């Protein structure tokens, strides 16, 4: 059996978040350049090259990645044509930073990146690559769980949030959390130039995109797009 160069060199990209870790095989020249990984631990063992970012300092995978001499991507004052808007750049979460890098490289215009996960983060970057900062608010699940934990008479059930007033407690809770986030997003749009590109990503990205009434793109691989910018030419 003949093994191709692409099969010989497997580049693994890993995003370690506040809650979950996920990875993809990256093939620069393939039509499907990000191929999901099911078993991250075994993928780390077999990968020839690894690039990762992590907002966690305690995730079990970090020790394994350290022994494999993986390439850790961290927030920098400037990288890939983007200037960080934080005076103390190291305080900007690397997941936000890498997502912004990926979005800027892809669109090359004014962009608002909305990452909907454990937290919802909103970041604005100009066409020239100036990161103007952003907002952080609880993700819709985090917001809902906080209310459930800190109140006695609110209860919940599994339902899909809608842009409607709830006529029972579960609907009122889930719709309220979702609409609070929609309101923040609409407010953020008031702060940026008309015609800016709006990009959703993250686990709740598709849901929030569906609840917002404006033109936008959904890029579930946005962090991996950013990580892939650091992969060397031999990938």
In whole angstroms, give the CA distance from residue 206 to residue 161: 12
Strands 49-54 and 71-72: parallel
The pLDDT value recorded for residue 145 is 84
Tell me how far apart the alpha carbons of residues 103 and 37 are, in angstroms, rounded to a whole number.
23
Give the pLDDT of residue 225.
96
Domains assigned to the chain: 5-72 (3.30.420), 78-225 (3.30.420.40)
CA-CA distance, 132 to 191, in Å (whole number)? 11
Higher pLDDT, 19 or 109: 109
| pLDDT for the residue 168 | 78
What average pLDDT score do residues 54-77 get? Answer: 92
Residue 180 CA, distance from chain mean position: 20
d(CA 183, CA 206): 16
Average pLDDT, integer, range 94-121: 96
pLDDT digits (tens, 9 = 90+) for 147-189: 777 666 565 555 677 777 877 787 888 889 999 999 999 999 9
Mean pLDDT over the full length of the chain: 88
pLDDT above 90 covers a percentage of the chain that reads: 71
- For the chain, what's the residue count? 235
pLDDT of residue 5: 43
- DSSP H helices in 108-168: 140-150
Confidence of residue 19 (pLDDT cuts 50, 70, 90): confident
Q: What is the pLDDT of residue 218?
A: 97
Statement: residue 6 has pLDDT above 60: no
Do residues 42 and 80 lie in contact, with contact meaning Cβ atoms separated by under 8 Å? Answer: no
The residues assigned a catalytic role are 95
Residue 126 in this model has a pLDDT that exceeds 70: yes
């Amino acid at each position: 059996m003949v093994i191709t160069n692409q099969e010989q060199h497997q580049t693994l990209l890993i995003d370690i978040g506040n809650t979950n870790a996920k990875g993809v095989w990256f093939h620069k020249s393939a039509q499907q350049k990000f191929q999901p990984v099911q078993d991250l631990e075994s993928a780390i063992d077999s990968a020839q090259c690894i690039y990762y970012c992590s907002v966690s300092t305690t995730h079990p995978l970090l020790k394994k990645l350290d022994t494999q001499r993986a390439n850790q991507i961290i927030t920098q004052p400037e990288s890939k044509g983007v200037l960080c808007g934080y005076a103390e750049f190291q305080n900007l979460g690397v997941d936000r930073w890498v997502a912004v890098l990926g979005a800027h490289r892809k669109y090359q215009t004014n962009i608002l990146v909305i990452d909907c996960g454990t937290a919802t983060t909103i970041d604005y970057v100009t066409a020239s690559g100036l990161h103007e900062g952003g907002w952080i608010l609880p993700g819709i699940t985090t917001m809902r769980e906080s209310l459930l934990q800190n109140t006695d008479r609110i209860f919940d059930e599994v339902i899909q949030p809608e842009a409607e007033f709830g006529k029972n407690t579960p609907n009122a809770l889930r719709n309220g959390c979702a609409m609070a986030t929609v309101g923040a997003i609409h407010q953020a749009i008031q702060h940026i130039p008309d015609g800016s590109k709006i990009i959703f990503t993250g686990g709740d990205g598709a849901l929030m995109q569906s609840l917002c009434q404006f033109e936008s793109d959904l890029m579930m691989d946005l962090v991996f797009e950013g990580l892939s910018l650091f992969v060397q030419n031999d990938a």
